[in-house]
Structure 1
Amino acid sequence: MASMAKALLFFFLSLSLLPLIFSRSPQTHPSSPTPLIQSTCNATSYYEFCVASLGSDPAGPTASDVRSLSVVAVNMAATNATNTSYIASSLAQKATDPSLRTLLRTCAAKYVAARDALHSAVQSINEEMYDYAFVHVSAAAEYPSVCRVLFRQAPRLTYPSELVRREEGLEMLCKIALDMISLLG
């Protein structure tokens, strides 16, 4: 039981650090981004977010080419999806309203599907099957939107702000990954 408590504590502490990572601009990042990160992120839709994100991941600065950097971006998106699934599940367990609990469980499942699609994308990138990788990342970006739509259809229920923020983060990470994959093939 103590190990479970430690694992949950580590999980929630790591979640609390994510806004710090993603709110940094390149100028405040402790080390300057590599030329590869700069040039690759320059070809994406969210330059600053891209540089801050890839620069914060230990694998980002050590990436040797766009392909390996795209794997870093996709893995970051998969981590976001996994963590968001845990958050949605946790909110579902605490929910007293049965309708809210059902919606949150559906959201958790959609984030698991997004994570699985992102893992497939990494596999496709590693096999240099960039069209498939693009399709998987595109699907991953869309799965969480189901959650938003379900909450819109239940106007008496409020879409949790933590899920809104994380959905936006996942969409941005997926867009960055798609932009990078487009450079590959």
Structure 2
Amino acid sequence: MKTNHQEMSSNFHFLLIFVFLISLQPTISTSSSSSIDLIQKTCKNTKYYDLCMSSLKSDSTSLKADTKGLATIMVKIGMVNATATNKYLSSSKLVFNTSNYTNDDVVLMKKLLNDCADKYALATNALQDSLQDLNNEVYDYAYMHVMAAADYPNVCHNGFKRNPRLNYPPQLAIREDGFKHICDVVLGILDALGW
């Protein structure tokens, strides 16, 4: 069993790795100032400017991308995030304190976590569909698929709300928020495309 300290340590390590990966930024020359201007302008249309900027600047292809390309980069970041959460839930790395639960509760918790893993897999699929829509310049469908992807974690969270004696794992809540923020950034960029 993991203690709360171990869970918090695990959450801290996840956040530390996430921040580290986002902070890996290529050196930007003055000749790419117009590219940076486009990234800044695009990110200003999103709810999470800092996340948008750090994510896009961490991908060297963003310096040559137009707004559609920036949306594509963020969708791919969302896919990586959702896939990582699915694998995290599927690999049983998520350990929860069972001392306050009955055997039936533990069985139900495992079922809910498996359902959550499935929802993150569906979120990845929805983002894959949005990539196809972006490629075909069907932005309204891309928007719809990103909204669907962002909603799948809600289904997961709602499963725990329907069973109030089971606590929603805090490390899963952190991952859920991160994924939803990425999706919100994508939606803001899609809005900037002016479809």
TM-score w.r.t. length of structure 1: 0.81
The structure 2 residue matched to 1:40, chosen from 1, 22, 42, is 42
Q: Answer yes or no: is 1:110 the counterpart of 2:113.
A: no
**Structure 2 unaligned regions, length at least 5:** 1-12, 29-34, 99-105
**Structure 1 unaligned regions, length at least 5:** 1-12
Q: Answer yes or no: is 1:19 the counterpart of 2:19.
A: yes
What is residue 6 of structure 1 aligned with on the other side? none
- Percent identity at matched positions? 38
Aligned counterparts of 1:102 and 1:180: Cα–Cα separation in 2: 36
Residue 59 of structure 1 aligns to a residue whose secondary structure is: helix
Give the RMSD, CA atoms, in angstroms.
2.5
What is residue 49 of structure 1 aligned with on the other side? 51
Q: CA deviation at 1:154?
A: 1.6
Q: Which has the larger radius of gyration?
A: 2
Q: CA deviation at 1:61?
A: 3.1
If asked which structure has higher relative contact order (CA below 8 Å, sep 6+), I would say 2
Q: CA deviation at 1:94?
A: 5.9
What is residue 166 of structure 2 aligned with on the other side? 157
> How is 1:78-89 mapped onto 2 (pairs within 5 angstroms)?
78-89=79-90
Q: CA deviation at 1:91?
A: 3.0
Q: Any conservation in 2 of the 1:41–1:47 contact (CA below 8 Å)?
A: yes
Aligned counterparts of 2:92 and 2:184: Cα–Cα separation in 1: 27
Aligned counterparts of 1:114 and 1:17: Cα–Cα separation in 2: 22
Q: Give the count of matched residue pairs.
A: 168
Aligned counterparts of 1:152 and 1:77: Cα–Cα separation in 2: 25
